[in-house]
Amino acid sequence: MTSTSAALAGPHEHLRAQDRWRAIEVVFWLATLLPFLVTPNYLSLASQVAITALFALSLDLILGYAGIVSLGHAAFFGFGAYAAGILSKHGWGEPLSGLLFAGIAAGLLGYLMSFIIARFRHLALIMITLGFGLLLLEAANSAGWLTGGADGLQGVRMWPLLGMFRFDLYGFTAYWYSLILLFLLFLVSRRLINSPFGLSLRGIRENSTRMRAIGAESRAHIRKIYTISAAMAGIAGGLLTQTTETVSLGVLDFQRSADILVILVLGGAGRLYGGLIGAIIFLVARDQFSGINPQYWYFPIGVLLVVVVLFLPGGILGGLAQITGSERFQRMVRPLMVWRGKSP
């Protein structure tokens, strides 16, 4: 098998093997273009899926790879959302620079937070991130002069993207804008994870004491990845503000932190595509179920979650990997592989 042979050849070989693009990945990214052709009426939903996927990816970097549990990641999402919104309200509605501003603002906040985060693990982290999220929500609520308080920020108006593409009612611009950003930041994350830095993050996740014992700078690594993750969450928040031209306290809500955790667990934490798949399934299921019954649509979602957690502990992608990795499956597909000239 590739993984064992790569491991024998040393970590650099292993990383290089991981970094190679697989056919299924190319298919996945090509499939993200389908909504333009197949379901042009669902583009605004598609853009929210892309934004949520980006947010989930940012959480995956810290939770899935570095093992930093967070129940308050919406803090950075919301901070970015408000940063982009407030900038636009005060007369600068250029989307790209606004997004950069949102990313930097959230990244800075993440950097400051990371000094606390790097000192704790597990349960203490849950409490700290939860508390931090609630504090930021209350701060935004009471700073009505800046955030508009409970009514939401008024007067967010975006200029056309690149001076040409207006954010239209059909969500056409919104989707390709969000999709391109998701793809770019996905590339960044992919590169990051398949680097020695990414490997040491996984080391921290598995055994942080031992990492320190072998001389790895655990805390510095955690600070770095936390800042990057916060900036990415901020960009996702900024995207939401820009594509919907609204911001309210909902972006900082605990519910958002919890939902994104659910999405990641559903898709599979610690896998780059976990958050993406989770976001697609969660939001499409929500859209469909709430269309069928607007009142009790949470029920089927709950059932879905229970089933996934019970039968696929590694999330949907983890489960799939388990199935495809099993002896029986290998035996089943071996003839096909041979036929395609790819003997394993």
Partner 1 sequence: MRTSLVGLMSATALLAGAASANAQDTIKIGLVMTLSGQFADAGIQMENGIKTYMKQFGDTVAGRKIEIIRKDSGGMAPDVAKRLTQELVVRDKVDIIAGFVLTPNALAAGDVSAEAKKFMVVMNAATSIVTTKSPYMARTSVTLPQVAETFGKWAATKAGVKKTYSMVTDYGPGHDFEAGFVRAFKEAGGEVIGSVRFPVANPDFSAFIQRAKDINPESIMIFVPGGAQPAALGKALAERGVDPNKTKILGSGETTAEQALKSMGDASLGIITAWHYDYTDKNPKNVEFVKVFNEIAKRNPDFFSIGGYDGMHLIYETLKKTGGKTDGDSLIAAAKGMKWDSPRGPMSIDPDTRDVVQTIYIRKVEKVGGEPINVVIDKVENVKDPVKARMPK
Residues that bind partner 1 (CB under 8 A): 40-42, 44-45, 48, 141-142, 144, 149-152, 154, 164-166, 168-173, 240, 244-251, 253, 255, 290-291, 294-298
Decide if 47 contacts 175 (C-beta within 8 A).
Answer: yes
CB within 8 Å of 261: residues ≥ 6 apart:
59, 63, 70, 71, 73
Q: How far is the CB of 247 from partner 1 (least distance, A)?
A: 8
Q: Which CB sits closer to partner 1, 25 or 287? A: 287
Decide if 62 contacts 201 (C-beta within 8 A).
Answer: no
Distance CA 94, CA 89 (A): 11
Q: Is the dihedral of CA 330, 335, 340, 344 positive or negative?
A: positive
Q: Which CB sits closer to partner 1, 36 or 120? A: 36
Q: How far is the CB of 116 from partner 1 (least distance, A)?
A: 25
Q: Is 161 helix (H, G, I), strand (E, B) or coil?
A: strand
Residue 183 identity: F
Assign residue 33 a region (left: φ > 0; alpha: ψ between -120 and 50; beta: otherwise).
Answer: alpha
Q: Which CB sits closer to partner 1, 163 or 344? A: 163
Q: Which CB sits closer to partner 1, 167 or 273? A: 167
Q: How far is the CB of 160 from partner 1 (least distance, A)?
A: 9
Q: Which CB sits closer to partner 1, 294 or 341? A: 294
Distance CA 209, CA 214 (A): 9
Helix axes 218-244, 74-89, angle to 10 degrees: 50
How many helical (H) and strand (E) elements, i.e. helices and strands, does the chain have? 18, 0
Q: How far is the CB of 167 from partner 1 (least distance, A)?
A: 10
**Any idea how long the chain is?**
344
Q: How far is the CB of 330 from partner 1 (least distance, A)?
A: 43
Q: How far is the CB of 20 from partner 1 (least distance, A)?
A: 33
Q: How far is the CB of 28 from partner 1 (least distance, A)?
A: 24
Q: Which CB sits closer to partner 1, 250 or 319? A: 250
Q: Which CB sits closer to partner 1, 4 or 295? A: 295
Helices (H), 91-170: 95-117, 122-142, 144-147
